[in-house]
Structure formats: C-alpha cells, structure tokens
Amino acid sequence: MGENPAKNHYAQLNQGEENEMEIFGYKTQGCRKALCIAGYFLSCGALLLLFYWKPEWDVWANCIRCSLEEADVVLLRTTDEFRIYSRKTVTWISVSALIQSRLNYPATAVEDSIFSKAIMKPSLQVKSIQVQRIRYVWNIYAKQFQKVGALEDHHTCSAIHAKFGSGLTCNEWNVRKVICGPNTIDVPVIPIWKLLIKEVLNPFYVFQLFSVCLWFAEDYMEYATAIIIMSLLSIFLTVYDLRQQSVKLHRLVESHNNIMVTVCRNKEGDSCFQELESHHLVPGDMLVLKEGKTLLPCDAILISGQCIVNESMLTGESIPVTKTHLPQADNFKPWRMHCAEDYKKHVLFCGTEVIQTKADDTGVVKAVVLRTGFNTAKGDLMRSILYPKPMNFKLYRDALRFLMCLIAFAAIGMIYTVCVFALNGEEAGEVVKKSLDVITIAVPPALPAALTTGIIYTQRRLKKKGIFCISPQRINMCGQLNLICFDKTGTLTEDGLDLWGLLPCERNCFQDIHSFPADHSLPWGPVFRAMAVCHSLIVWEGKIQGDPLDVKMFEATNWVIDDSSGHQIEGQGSTHATVVRPGPKASSAPVEGVAILHQFPFSSALQRMSVIAQEIGGEQQVFTKGAPEMVAMLCRAETVPLNFESKLLLYTAQGFRVIGLACKSLQAGKQSTDLTREEVESDLTFLGLLIMENRLKRETKPVLEELSAARIRSVMVTGDNIQTAVTVAKNAGMISPTNRVILVEANKIPGSFSASITWKPLEKNKPEDYRGLAKAMGLEPRSPRVFTSALPVEDDSPPTTERRIGLALASGQYHFAMSGKSYQIVAQHFRHLLPKLLLNGTVFARMSPGQKSSLVEEFQKLDYFVGMCGDGANDCGALKVAHAGISLSEQEASVASPFTSRTPSIACVPELIREGRAALVTSFCMFKYMALYSTIQYLGVLLLYWQLNAFGNYQFLFQDLAITTVIGVTMSFTGAYPKLVPYRPPSQLISPPLLLSVVLNILFSLSMQVFGFVVVQEQPWYSKTDIHSACLSVNNHVENSSSISSLGLRGMRDGAHGQTDNGYKSYENTTVWLLSTINCLIVALVFSKGRPFRQPIYTNYVFILVLIGQLGVCLFLVFADIDDLYSKMDVSIVPSLFAPLPRGGSPW
C-alpha cells in the first residue's frame, strides 16, 4: 500500500535540508484498533512483531487518513532512495497555566514568532511531534509543522538588538521554555534490557528462534544448543558494544547540560541579571559572558564585545577563533543574509570553549541564544551519530535478493515434501515438521553472522594499524573506492608553514627579497609593523596560539605578546587591547610597543583580515593581509607595482603560499570601534608579499603514485589559492608533467540572472590543443546564459561531440582546475557541463565546507565510490557524506567520520582500500559458500525425502558445526594482498560470472549426489530393506551366505537395530551424506579466493589445517570399522574397494 499525497494530508518536513522528510496525517480509529489487538492475540504476537518491523503497516491498519491538523498520529517517510518509514504520536503541550489572560502575556498576540502562532485559542495548547530528538510544533496559520528550539531566520540585525538586547520577560521565558523543552543534548545510557529486546527482535534472531524451536521438536538438540550458545554470545557482544558506545556518547555530552550561566531578564523595562542552569535557556535569552574560560551550552549570536573561542570540537583544529559582535545594520535583510558567508564570525557554537572575552564600551559581553538542545551545532553532530545516513551498497541489496531466491527454493522444497510425505500416508504433524525443516536447510540461519565475520577480522587488523572504525559496514565499501578527495593543508602537506621570504615594495617597485632564516634581521618599517600586529594570535596556557601562518609570521619578528588584562591607550580609554612588544632577541625599534585596538577577523568570503593598531604614544594605523589579488584591489593603484601579477605567478607556480600586505594611517580622534570594515579596508598602500612554504609530507607522493597505479583517481579539495593548489598537485604527482591544466572560471553577470564561463590554460600551449577540447566539451552558448571563452568555440554535431569528449577525457591529458565560486556558478547556471568538468577535474580550490560536501555528492552521482581524507578542519560535512570518510584528526570533530587514523598520514588510505577489498572478497566468498552449503544440504535432503528418509541429527550436526561453522570462522583469517591491483573486486552478487560459478557448482553437486544415489542401488550387495546386506559376502565363491545371514548376523543386527537404529540408516543416506560433506569441503576450497585481493590461500595456515583435518575425518568415517561410531552417526556399512576380503566372510 502506498501513499497518495493529498491536500492537507501530506506535507514536507525540513524542506531543502539534509534531513528532509515527507509527513502524512492519520487518525486512530477504535474499531480498527480493536481488530488489530484481536489479531495480536490470535497470531500469538506475530502480527505485533510484523508491525514493529513495518511501522507503516501498523499505521495503515490502525488508522484512517486525515488532514495533518486533525491527526493524532503521523507517518514520516525519508525522501532519499531508501524511503524509510517511521511512526510518531502527536502530543499536546498545555500553556494555560502560564497565560492567564492576553494581558498577562501580550507577546503571544503580537509577536511574529512560531511561539505565538503555535498556541491554539481558547484551549491554550500546542500540538507537537518529536522527530530525531527535535521538537516540531503545529503552526495554526501556516498549517504545517515547524521546528522550535531556534530563533527565526527572518529577524534583521537591528531587530535582534532591539527585541532581545535587554532580555526576555519572565512570561516570555516561561512560555518558550514549555514549548521548546529543556536546553539539553540528552543522550541517556540505554538500559541493557532495552538493548537486549531490540537486538533479539531483529528478524535474523527471530528466524533463528523459529529454527531452534523446530530443531528441538525434532530432537536435534546438539546443534540447536550450539546455535543458542553462538547466538547468545553474538547478542551479548553486540549489546556490550552498543552499551559502550551509549556510555561514550553520554559522557561526551553530559558536561554541557548543567552549566551555570548568567542571563539578562527584562523586568518592566529594566534589565537585571540572573544566574540559572543552562538547561533552562531558551531561544531569545540574553547570555552575559564573564571573563575566564566558559563552555558554551547553546548556539548564540554575539551582540556586544568580542570573544576568542576554541572551536576544535567543530573544526578539529585547536586554533583560537576571534568572534565579533553582530553589527546594528538598519536594513530589511534577515541577519544571516546581511552577513552572507561571514555570519559564523558572529556566532558562538555549542560545545566550543570561550577562552577570552573583550568588552566594548558597555563593559559587558552579551550574546542572544540562537539555538538550543539538538538544534545546536553540537546537537547536530550528535544526531548524525545517533541517526546515521543509511548506506546503499549493491552487495547488501543483492544479498537480500539472493535470500529471497533461497526462500523461493525453500517454498518449492516444502511443496515437494508435503506431496511426497502426504502421498505416503505420513502423519500430518510429521509432514509439517519435515516441510518446515526445509526452510531452515535452504536458508541457513548462520548466513548474516557469516557475512559479518570477515568485517570483524578486518576491523581488528585495521585497529592494529592505527585505523579506527565506528561504522564497520562501511569497510566493504572501501573495497569499491575509485576516487579519493584529499584536503591539502595538513593532509597532503605539512600542517605548519615555513616562512620562506618577504618581497617588500617601496615607491611602486618590488625591492630585493628578504630570505628566512637570514643573517640580518628585518629592518623596522611598515612591513615589520604589519607582521607584528596583523594577526589574531593570543597567549593561551603560556603559549602563542593561533593560525600557523600567523604564528610563523609573528615569530619572525622576535617580538612578544603582552598578555596583561588591560592597557591604557591614549584616546581609547581603558580597553582590553592586545599589546605586542620587542622581545629579548628583537632588533632595536623606536617604539615601546604597539597596541592592537580592533580586529576584523579573517573571512574566507573576503579572503583577508585587518587590524587597527596604534604605536604607544603614536598614531593609529590600519594593517591588512590576505590573498594578494584581493589586497591589491583594495590598494591605491599607484602603490601597486606594475609587475605585480608576474611576480605573484612566479612564486605561486613554485607552490609557495603568498600573502599580500597593506596599510594606511587613520585620522586622529576617531574611535576604532566606530569605523566600518569598508571604511578601514580602502585606499590602502601596498607593502609587499609574504612568501610561505608548505612542504609535502614525505609519504604523500608514494601514496598518490600507488593509488594512480591502481587506477584510483585522486582529487584535491582545498581552501587555498588555486595556483598554489595546482603546483602542489603537480609536485605530489596528481597531475603528470606531460598533462595540461585548464582553469575554469565562471562569473555572474552583474545586473542579470545570467552567468559567463571562461577557460584558459595555466601554462603556455598551442591554442589548437584547447580549441579541440572546447568543441569536445560541447560548451555552446545557451540562452539566457552567456558563454565566453579565452579560446574560440565552434559548433559541432552531436555524434562528433561525443567522440571528441571520449577522446579528450579518456586520454586523461587534460586536468580542470576551478575555484569554489566557479564551481557554485557552474552548478547553478551550467548544470549540463558539470559532469563533463568533474570527469577530469583534479583541483578544486577556495572551497567552503558546504561546497566540499556538494562536490563529494556530485561525484557520487557520477557513480564514483568516493573516499574523503581530511584533517578535520572544515571537512566534517564531506567526511560524513562520502562513502568512506577518513579523518586524520582525533579531535571531537572526527566523531562523525566513519574512519579515524591515529597517525596524521594519508598512508592509511591505500591500507584501508586494501583491507576493504579483502573484506569485500571475503564477504563474497562466505556468502557463496553459505549459499552453496545450504543448497548442497537441501538437495541431499530432498533426494532422501524421495525414500522417506533424511540425514540423521549427528549427520546434520557434523555438517553444520564441525564443517560449516569452523570453515566460516577460519576462512576469514586470510589477510589483504599487499599490492593494489588496477581493478576492483566485483560489487554485485547478482552478476553473470558469479551466478555461473554458483549454478555450475550446484549442478556438480546435484550430479554427484544423484550419481551416488543411483550407483549405490546398482551394487550387487544393495538391499533396500536390509541395511546390513553388505556385511554378507560379496564374493560369489562364498556358498553359505544365507545361513550366515540368518544365523551369524541376525542377533547382531537385531540387537543393534533395536538399540540405535532410528530409521535414518540406509545405503543412500550414507552415500549422499558422505558425498555432500566432501562436496562442502571442495566448495570451501574453491570459493576461498586468494590473489589479487587477498593473500594466497596457503598463507591461511589455520584454514588449510582445518580442511585437511575435516577431509581426514571424512575418510576415517569411510574406512573405519567402529560399530558404535557408525551407529551414532547413522552410517551404514559399505564394502571398501581397498580392504581385502576374508575368505568366506565379510570385508571386516
């Protein structure tokens, strides 16, 4: 039964967001509910269990469709390819006790917020649902469920200052608290009994329970007991792991739930301060941040003062970040749109630590609570762990389909069994047991456990190599990776930068370069002052902390930071200005020190930072540093050297990171806090270029060469300069020296909705080479968009275009490079070109975190299996969406990454791919073996059912426990092959080669068993009724066979039969059982693959010894002469071809 989205019955939740869902309204109907309850009892709980597995069936059976407004139950469905359903009950929140009258809470009548729009009149109740720990309330005007626990986005900058600057009233706070719920990221430790019940109700364990009950009914006690022990062990280990993870997550967040904070309350127009526990905070509350370290219990917008925050929880880097207050801009744009990409510079995120606060003229640092609970940055991180995105992997889909095929085989076998036994007049109970037994034979209960065995062993091997995995199912996906995205700084290159040189500029000309380290120190001057003050460094725990670039630049001056709490600066009053002074090793300077009065922090959108500084006793000056192109644009043209571009290209082409420096003097008497960024960063004087060296890590080039040899694509995704990134890509071997790099640039056309795209070579080559590619890419102008090019474009017919694309891209001779901005514009305006550009795109520079995630998803749409390797800084989103995210940082930010490497080296990438390939092949081997083993046993049993016979319990036990279980455990011991081959293991179970191998093995097994079944009946000593006929002489020269049969063997046979024969003994049984057992060993050897993805099979000594031992036992059973053993194993005595026959007697 499906959903037909009808008006008011259907809506979308979190539209356009990552966790977008469809929501359907239902109302519980009494008569339907009563019928379902009756069904629960009549089915002995089976119907209830089915509804537990399928919540949508539960809702469809118990409820009728209705509008969302009337609904008391909602059904949610994810909008991804999995379409997963979940059921939620609507709850009501009463606020009547808080709102006695409209006068008591006037805000509910006039406030343009979800809190006023959610309260139903006159009942004063709020309708809500909770989805993935986030509360949604019903907006009675918009007729939809909306998220609460976050400040609305429509507020302008001035509105936030005006509405929330003096705090909420007590009534407002009470209503918001009841509607939003507590500000906690509550991850309770799940009780063991709950974990046990959830695990036991897994369909796999329910099927095992069914199997075990059936086996007990058939007196198959030993294997049933063995399965119970193994299942209990598996359940307890899983529950233990889940419990440990639950405890770990609980400890991770418990410290954030009860922090004492100071808030500002608005009492009749006057503000007063109040201390309370952080779980009482609501969106809109006014937080007062005091001096000293503070752990933030919520997301908040800074509206006064300045903060220095440690955001390692979010970024993975313990680099202090400066936060500035939200400007009081008087416009109609929502605050986030006004601040554009820089809005994060004003937001303090939950879980981060405020290291230092700097008050402004008001003397207080204040922030408005933006988000609470699981709506916060920390809460979002926790939700990504608690509710991971399901994986779509062909192996698991195919395994389910294959399982369905086995169930279909079982159904055929059941019909055959019922027909055979019913026609022969067997009792109904016996017929039912035998037919149900076919299911447990055809569909082995140990199959899911066998599939995970290889993953468990691989996880252990990875742990020994310092690679930790929190999502074991992704290990198999690593075996399919064919594209790896690498961050640059800290991943491919060393984390820190080395100062290589300084190219100063005086009077519109570059001077001689000053190299570092140098014999002579840098002379005092504007460039020196810029290096000393243009940074956001602080002294934290006795060390200078900040961006590695800033640290290296400042250390080169030999100055020190004076971390005193306050300094009296002339004309500025008492302020928390940072003062830098000459250190003991510094060259003589004509000043006592320089105070940094105000900072405009680095912005990735603006690509620069600025400070206002003042020499002690001197004038105020502005210093700016950033991307050279951007800094040069802000400078007066007459101060920028004419050869600026050629010099910049000279150094970036060598892989150096280049920073531009500029300055200007400010008019006296102006307060630094009154100046806007636009006023400060204009009419600057160009000072020169700072050249930093970012060395490749030692292991980078060999690893990338290994990946390239294995035909695994490497792509660089970085926030750095595009020219630097291209050079690093060439040095690292991503781009071959013989290959060409084409820069793709896209720009929006001012004043229109159109965009233009250009491409040009980054090195000098023949234009005709690129003209051919231009045509091949099919970049024709498309209205209303405009296409421009640095090279001519000619029209081409579609077939020729396709051929050219194939030739140009398949040859791999071109590599595209583009910036994040260009990528965004291409994705919006030239969508048809994006796949073609991505196929040969190697360098993506100046990429924001959101663009990195988007790029990974676009690669996935092109059927790439994408790995992402980053150091945690701004890579969290991409690490989560990639098929395999590998974090090189052990900071808290890496919790959402499936894999974390203890050593910050990309050497873990090929290691992970090797182990992933081995695990994937092992899963295939195990699946094929388990499927074949069950089919072999299934064919043997159906063959014996023809004679109303079957395998004995100990025969089953020997095959199930001594053969299959031991093989299942030891087959996975084979390690990964050390060399990455240039092709991947198959990812589909339902593929012609694999199906062919399975079908051929089934036919071989069937022919073997049928051959044995028929041949044994053709033997001269065969008797269908007398299982001891072979004990008589098979020698035609023996004359007294009848008397021996009647006298000598009767007593032995009768006695033995009376005591141990349970009806299973027959020559057919013995033959088929021995052949099927040996067949299982042959299949195990055939399907246990070695090279090229796993080590040769002979290296798995345990497995080889097990196979030899099992074969030895089988041969022993053939040749042994032990009556008690044969009786126990239900084996009949068959004459040996090799044993000498005694004269006149049996071969014994």
Other CB atoms within 10 Å distance of the CB of residue 30 = 8
Q: 172 and 116 in contact (C-beta within 8 Å)?
A: no
Alpha helices in 479-547 (DSSP H): 526-533
Q: How far apart are CA 355 and CA 368, in angstroms?
A: 18
SS3 content of the chain, % helix, strand, coil (to 5): 45, 20, 35
Catalytic residue chosen out of the listed positions 487, 720, 871, 875: 487
C-alpha closest to that of 503 among 482, 522, 484: 522
Q: What's the chain's Rg over C-alpha atoms? A: 38
Angle between helices 203-217 and 192-200 (to 10 degrees): 70
In sequence order, which residues have a C-beta less than 8 Å from that of residue 544 and are 6 or more positions away? 537, 538, 551, 554, 555, 561
Task: Kindly tell me the sign of the dihedral angle through the C-alpha atoms of 338, 339, 343, 345.
Answer: negative
Rounded alpha-carbon distances, angstroms, from residue 70 to 65, 96, 1059 = 10, 21, 72
Residues near 722 by Cβ (< 8 Å), separated by ≥ 6?
A: 743, 817, 818, 819, 843, 845, 846
Q: Which residue has the tokens 């194993």?
A: 1129
Give the ranges where 946-978 is alpha helix by DSSP (H): 953-957, 966-970
Record the tokens describing residue 83, joined without a space. Answer: 């379409």
Residue with tokens 């690669």: 859
CA distance 868 to 846: 17
Question: What secondary structure, in 3-state letters, does 1082-1141 show?
Answer: HHHHHHCCCCCCECCHHHCHHHHHHHHHHHHHHHHHHHCCCHHHHHHCCCCCCCCCCCCC
Helix/strand/coil for 854: helix
Residue with tokens 């020196």: 528
HEC string of 697-766 equals CCCHHHHHHHHHHCCCEEEEECCCCHHHHHHHHHHHCCCCCCCEEEEEEEEECCCCCCEEEEEEECCCCC
Q: Which two tokens stand for residue 477?
A: 């996906």
In eight-state DSSP terms, residue 346 is G
Cis status, amide bond into 582, omega within 30 of 0: no
Residue 458 three-state SS: helix
For residue 499, give the H/E element and its range: strand 498-506
Residue from 359, 327, 364 nearest 343 by CA: 327
1054 an active-site residue? no
- Residue in this structure with the two tokens 């820089």, named with its chain if needed: 342
Task: Give the list of residues 6+ apart from residue 767 with CB closer than 8 angstroms, or none.
Answer: 791
User: Angle formed by the axes of helices 992-1017 and 1067-1087, to 10°?
Assistant: 160
Cα-Cα-Cα-Cα dihedral sign, residues 163, 166, 170, 174: positive
**901 in Cβ contact with 910 (< 8 Å):** no
Residues in Cβ contact with 940 at an 8 Å cutoff, skipping those fewer than 6 apart: 951, 1009, 1072, 1073, 1075, 1076
Q: Is 371 left (phi over 0), alpha (psi -120 to 50) or beta?
A: beta
Give Cβ neighbours of residue 945 (< 8 Å, ≥ 6 apart).
416, 417, 420, 421, 434
Q: Which residues are catalytic?
A: 487
